[in-house]
Each structure stands twice: as structure tokens, then as C-alpha cells.
Amino acid sequence: MTIGSYVCTACSGLLRGLNPPHRVKSISMASFTPEEMEFLQMHGNEYCRKVWLGLYDNRLGNQAESRDETKVKEFMAQKYERKRYYVAPTDSMKEEARRMNEAGAVVKPPPGTRPLKSLLGENAPKLQVGAQVRTGGTRWERRNV
């Protein structure tokens, strides 16, 4: 975890391809040390936006949302390799990030997003976390589903 923000799977692959390559961990397939958890608490997407895109002019359009992988990769190179939009973090930025992340600040979902229940209806199957699953033969094991 080089930067301390959350990215999609496609962007994580692009970040690994930058020079120097960034260290990326999957939140669903990796475990995190206490030091890594502290690192994430001191960073986060909003903090990283202020640092890595501090000088970015939104009037240029959002190149990161392009469907063209070449454009996205070039944007990431400008952002992380060349530090074109970089602003050195201040103590107040760090403290604000820590407060937000410790408080578990909730980010508003994008416009048009609806709760899953409203899409699936009242009779949707319930998600069971930590359910017992059969792993073969008569053996049962607890897993997150």
C-alpha cells in the first residue's frame, strides 16, 4: 500500500505497472498488519485526492473515468510518477484524514444509487456472513460468504 487509498481492480493493475510500481493489496483477499491499518487510517481517498490532485483543474474533464485504458494509464503516470498535480501534505490535512477515518465517516453514494433491497425486492435471499458451508464429505467449515 504505497498511497493509502482505495481503487478499483482495473486501476490496481495500472498502479502496479507504474515506475516505480505501487504496492497494492486486495481488501477481500489479504490480511493487514496493525501498521498497515494505521497507515490507512492516516490516509484514505479524500486525503489522497487533496495531495495527489491538489493542483488538478476539474475543467479539464475527468481523464481517470475514461474508458480508454491508455488515457487512464497516462493520467496515472502524470499523477503519481511525474507528480504533476501533487501538493505536499500539511499537518492539518493529516489530522483531518485521521479524524474522518477514525470516526468512520460515511461517504454519500453516487447519485442514482439505490439500496440492494429496492432492486431485489422484499423476497430477496438474505446474505449470511460466517455461514457454515460443506467442504466435501461430511466436513463443515465456517467461512465468510
Three state DSSP letters for the chain = CCCCCCCCHHHHHHHHCCCCCCCCCCCCCCCCCHHHHHHHHCCCHHHHHHHHCCCCCHHHCCHHHCCCHHHHHHHHHHHHHCCCCCCCCCHHHHHHHHHHHHCCCCCCCCCCCCCHHHHHCCCCCCCCCCCEEEEECCEEEECCC
Ordered domains of the chain (ranges, CATH): 9-111 (1.10.220.150)
Provide mean pLDDT across the span 99-114: 68
Provide mean pLDDT across the span 97-113: 70
- In this structure, the chain runs to a length of 145
Lowest mean pLDDT segment, chosen from 34-43, 90-99, 108-117: 108-117
Provide mean pLDDT across the span 77-93: 93
User: Within its chain, how far is the Cα of 128 from the centroid?
Assistant: 24
pLDDT at 140 (0 to 100): 52
Looking at mean pLDDT, say which of 30-34, 62-66, 100-104 comes out highest: 30-34
Lowest mean pLDDT segment, chosen from 8-17, 78-87, 128-137: 128-137
pLDDT at 9 (0 to 100): 86
Query: Euclidean distance between the first and final Cα of the chain, in Å?
Result: 25
Cis peptide before 110 (omega within 30 of 0): no
List the one residue out of 35, 27, 1 whose CA is nearest residue 15: 1
Which has the higher per-residue pLDDT, 128 or 32?
A: 32
pLDDT at 26 (0 to 100): 87
Instruction: Inform me whether the pLDDT recorded for 88 exceeds 90.
Output: yes
Cell of 94: 493529516
pLDDT at 145 (0 to 100): 40
